[in-house]
Amino acid sequence: MHILGLGNGTVNGNSEILLKAALTAAEKADSSITTSWIHVPSVSVPRNPRPLEGAQDVSMGTIGQTGVGGDTVPDDRRDVLNAILAADALIFATPIYSHQPAGTLKMLVDRILGPFTDAAFVQRVLDSQMAGEKTYQHIKLDKRILKPRVAAFIAVGGSPFNDQVTMALPTLHQFVYSLHAKVVDQHVFRGFGRPGSVLLRGGEAVQRAEKLGQNVASQIGKTFDEAKYLGPEDPASCPYCHMSKVEIDYTQDNDIGCITCGARGKLVVGENGRIQPVWETS
Ligand SMILES: Cc1cc2nc3c(=O)[nH]c(=O)nc-3n(C[C@H](O)[C@H](O)[C@H](O)COP(=O)(O)O)c2cc1C
């Protein structure tokens, strides 16, 4: 079993320290596990690349436009996609910039993941091909997309305030949902603005990252339904993405929706007089 880390921050910075703590702890927890990691800001992608085979063109009409002297930048997209599809678990570690994961990660995900690595789509095409239907016969599929995969998220912000970090985890979830990876842990590390500051405060951040690595190790190889979420939760959390981030639809009798995964529910007044969500579960 292999865990791939995707580190999205400063070299030797806070998110890299925590990613390495998580990966090392996972290897210690289970000696059969191997790990590797990619420094996302170092991934090289030409300025206006053609889409990968089978992928959607997201160049916005700029394919082939190059800078002065032409683009001689290497294209790492295929290697990164192969590393992701070969892995049994993914740990994303990112700084928070402007309340979200730093943009280098979003840029990379837009270029290599998305609809053409969508497990539901791949399964539908495979079923159709097996049934001998003509529509999808020409499509070549990478069956590794369907492999059981778990994921965990580390987000590090300098701010101690919730509103300045609150969109980090919802965005990180979008990076793995097309792969149908099960999120088993997630943590926002707040108030760590200075380089290396995650090593302070008695090492509590490092210990939490190690726990996250152990949680991944304990769930790796399990199917989506078997793998358990082991991260933080509160009584209002959505039962699927385990966060309390909702939109309210007053036109529909106080219906709520989870902004991360789309689960539906209602706001009701509980016996203790407090407003609380009641989520629809299947
Ligand atoms: C451009 C920029 C924007 C930032 N925006 C936020 C923010 O919105 N919320 C926050 O909590 N921290 C913010 N920070 C602070 C970083 O998240 C913090 O310093 C983090 O520890 C950097 O991680 P790294 O050492 O792995 O690069 C920002 C930093 C930069 C450089």
Q: Does the structure show a pLDDT above 80 at 69?
A: no
Q: Report the domain count for the chain.
A: 2
**Mean pLDDT to the nearest integer, 224-228:** 97
If you take atom 31 of ligand 1, which residue's CA is the nearest one?
A: 97
For 189, list phi and psi in degrees, rounded to 5.
-95, 110
**Cross-strand bridge partners of residue 256:** 248, 265
pLDDT of residue 64: 64
Of 191, 207, 232, the last residue of a domain is 232
If you take atom 21 of ligand 1, which residue's CA is the nearest one?
A: 193
pLDDT of residue 66: 62
Residues 204 and 182 in one domain: yes
* High-pLDDT (> 90) share of the chain, %: 74
Choose the residue to mutate in 91, 94, 96, 171 for probing ligand 1, maximizing ligand atoms within 8 Å of C-beta: 96
Residues 228 and 280 in one domain: no
* Least confident residue range of 52-61, 82-91, 168-177, 228-237: 52-61
CA distances to 84, 106, 109, 110, 149 from 114, in Å: 13, 11, 7, 7, 16
Coil, helix or strand for 23? helix
Atom of ligand 1 nearest to the CA of 161: 11
> CA 6 to CA 39: how far, in whole Å?
6
Q: Does the structure show a pLDDT above 90 at 169?
A: yes
**Mean pLDDT to the nearest integer, 226-232:** 98
pLDDT of residue 71: 61
pLDDT of residue 95: 98
Residues 240 and 210 in one domain: no
Exposure on the CB side of residue 221, measured as CA atoms within 13 A: 8
Q: Which residue has the higher pLDDT, 88 or 115?
A: 88
> CA 3 to CA 92: how far, in whole Å?
11
Atom of ligand 1 nearest to the CA of 93: 26
pLDDT of residue 53: 78
Residues 52 and 104 in one domain: yes
Closest CA to 140 of 43, 269, 53: 53
Q: Is 195 in the pocket of ligand 1 (CB under 6 A)?
A: yes
pLDDT of residue 47: 77
Atom of ligand 1 nearest to the CA of 198: 21
Residues 97 and 151 in one domain: yes
Between CA 89 and CA 92, with CA 90 as vertex, the angle to 5 degrees is 160
* Least confident residue range of 49-53, 63-67, 187-191, 194-198: 63-67
Residues 182 and 240 in one domain: no
Q: Does the structure show a pLDDT above 70 at 90?
A: yes
Q: Is 165 in the pocket of ligand 1 (CB under 6 A)?
A: yes
Q: Which residue has the higher pLDDT, 71 or 274?
A: 274
Range of the domain at 217: 2-232
Q: Edge-to-edge strand order for the sheet containing 275-279?
A: 246-249, 255-258, 264-269, 275-279
pLDDT of residue 253: 85
Q: How confident is the model at residue 109 (pLDDT cuts 50, 70, 90)?
A: very high
Expressed in angstroms and rounded, the spacing between residue 157 Cα and the centre of ligand 1 is 5
Concatenate the DSSP letters of all residues of 4-34 into one string.
EEEE-SSTTSHHHHHHHHHHHHHHHH-TT-E
Q: Do 156 and 192 meet the contact criterion of CB atoms below 8 Å apart?
A: yes
Q: Is 265 in the pocket of ligand 1 (CB under 6 A)?
A: no
Q: Does the structure show a pLDDT above 70 at 67?
A: no
Atom of ligand 1 nearest to the CA of 98: 8
Residues 148 and 49 in one domain: yes
> CA 182 to CA 198: how far, in whole Å?
27
Question: Any idea what the CATH number is for the domain that residue 90 is in?
Answer: 3.40.50.360
Average pLDDT across the chain, whole number: 92
Q: Does the structure show a pLDDT above 70 at 17?
A: yes
Residues 245 and 194 in one domain: no
* Least confident residue range of 125-129, 134-138, 219-223, 228-232: 134-138
If you take atom 23 of ligand 1, which residue's CA is the nearest one?
A: 95
Expressed in angstroms and rounded, the spacing between residue 51 Cα and the centre of ligand 1 is 31
Atom of ligand 1 nearest to the CA of 8: 26
Coil, helix or strand for 31? coil
> CA 185 to CA 208: how far, in whole Å?
11
> CA 192 to CA 194: how far, in whole Å?
6
Residues 123 and 181 in one domain: yes
Q: Do 148 and 223 meet the contact criterion of CB atoms below 8 Å apart?
A: yes
Q: How confident is the model at residue 223 (pLDDT cuts 50, 70, 90)?
A: very high
Q: Do 148 and 224 meet the contact criterion of CB atoms below 8 Å apart?
A: yes
pLDDT of residue 96: 98
Closest CA to 156 of 58, 16, 6, 46: 16
Q: 1-10, 64-73, 112-121 — which one is most confidently predicted on average? A: 1-10
Residues 31 and 98 in one domain: yes
| E-assigned strand segments in the chain | 2-7, 34-39, 89-97, 100-101, 150-156, 182-189, 246-249, 255-258, 264-269, 275-279
Residues 103 and 161 in one domain: yes
Expressed in angstroms and rounded, the spacing between residue 96 Cα and the centre of ligand 1 is 5
**Mean pLDDT to the nearest integer, 245-258:** 91
Expressed in angstroms and rounded, the spacing between residue 72 Cα and the centre of ligand 1 is 31
Residues 131 and 35 in one domain: yes
